[in-house]
Structure formats: C-alpha cells, structure tokens
A and B are shown apart, each in its own frame.
Chain A
Amino acid sequence: DADVTQTPRNRITKTGKRIMLECSQTKGHDRMYWYRQDPGLGLRLIYYSFDVKDINKGEISDGYSVSRQAQAKFSLSLESAIPNQTALYFCATSPGRRYQETQYFGPGTRLLVL
C-alpha cells in the first residue's frame, strides 16, 4: 500500500463549486504539504502544516483553505472553484525531526474546473 494517498485521483467540477481534496499518510510524519503543478512552473506550495495545530500559508494560498484533521490527514478545499485552479495537485509529507529533510509525495489529483 502507498504511504501517501490522495483522493480523488481525478475530478471535474464547475466554476463556483466547493470541492475538497484529501490526503492521508501512513508514514507517521508530522509535516504535511499541498502543492500544485502547472505546466512550465514546476510545483508551488499552497499550504503546509507542521502538526495538527500549526497550519501556514505557502506561496500561493489565495482561493484555498486546508484542514489538518489528524496527524495522518490533511485536506485541501477550494471554496469556490475557478478555471485557473485547473492543475495537478500533490500532497507531500516529511518527518519534521531533523535538518534538511526530504519530502515524500502522493500520486496527485488532477483537477479540471470548467
């Protein structure tokens, strides 16, 4: 079984709809992240969480919100989806216990906003 899972894997929605992307991990890591990938721009950080009570905005948080329900679960919400939020979304985790850590990524959610 994958250590970092994302649901759904694909989603089509309409402008103005609220949607939630979910991430779960079995790695026991404290830190979790949400990124989006756009062609020609690489991955950009949306939100990150150091633990259940610590949530922080990333580089491009406008239009998004998150919820850290437990150490293992981190959800990303689009309150009112718009077409330029069409992208590939990745969840990632890292242990949060030592200097210079690697992040481990989920398989991604492909979102299309019509």
Chain B
Amino acid sequence: DQQVKQNSPSLSVQEGRISILNCDYTNSMFDYFLWYKKYPAEGPTFLISISSIKDKNEDGRFTVFLNKSAKHLSLHIVPSQPGDSAVYFCAASAGYWNNNDMRFGAGTRLTVKP
C-alpha cells in the first residue's frame, strides 16, 4: 500500500513562474514531512521539511504547506529556474523511533523551460 502518493508524474512550467508540486498521504501517524530533489545519476538531496505542528515552512524560493485535515502537502517554488528541473520526492515519517520508517512517493519530474 502506498501511504504517500504523488499523483502527477510530471510537471512543466515556464522560467520565472510558480511550480506547485503536490503530495497526499494516508497514514495519520506521520508527523514529519520532507521534500527531496533528485538529479540524474545522483542520490536524492534534502530540500525542505515540515513538522506536523506547523502548516508552513519557507526557505528562500521554496515553501512547503501542510494541510493535516486533508492529509495533503505541497511544495511551491517561486520563481522557478531551469536548474530546478529534477525529480522531486515527497517523504513522510512517524516519530523519532520510527525515523527508519520513512515512506516515499513515486516522484514528480519537474521541467522548467527557459
């Protein structure tokens, strides 16, 4: 069972515009959510995270929003740049001792066109 779902396999946006990547989860025990970015031939790299006690976390051009009642989170990239083109994975985990049990979505491939 996929507890973390990214329903859009791909997204294409114009440089300078906003990119919005979405993620849904089913396990109400998840309390920590992360976004990773992956370039070809490289491992995923951490981008931004949010704890379930918050509904928004911002880091430069990247903002993650969490809607616990809808079990939904989104990543906003403003403004989008060609270097942001990558696969983005949403991940979620449940508590310190379950940090091992991090579940990942299938990923969304973002293409930012110049």
Contacts and interface: CB of A to CB of B under 8 A. Distances in A.
Interface of A: 4, 31, 33, 35, 40-45, 48, 50, 56, 58-59, 90, 92, 94, 96, 98-108
Contact of B102 (A45, A56, A96, A104): A45
A94 B100 CA distance: 9
A4 B91 CA distance: 20
Nearest to B33: A100
B45 A105 contact: yes
Contacts, number: 65
Given A42-B4, A42-B106, A100 B43 contact: no
Interface of B: 2, 4, 6, 9, 31-32, 34, 36, 41-46, 49, 51, 89, 91, 93, 95-96, 99-107
19 contacts: A4-B43, A35-B104, A40-B9, A41-B106, A42-B2, A42-B103, A42-B105, A42-B107, A43-B44, A45-B101, A90-B43, A94-B99, A98-B96, A100-B31, A100-B51, A100-B96, A103-B46, A107-B41, A108-B42
A113 B96 CA distance: 36
Which A-B residue pairs are the 3 nearest by beta carbons? A105-B43, A42-B104, A43-B104
A48 B89 contact: no
A48 B98 CA distance: 11
A41 B51 CA distance: 24
A90 B106 contact: no
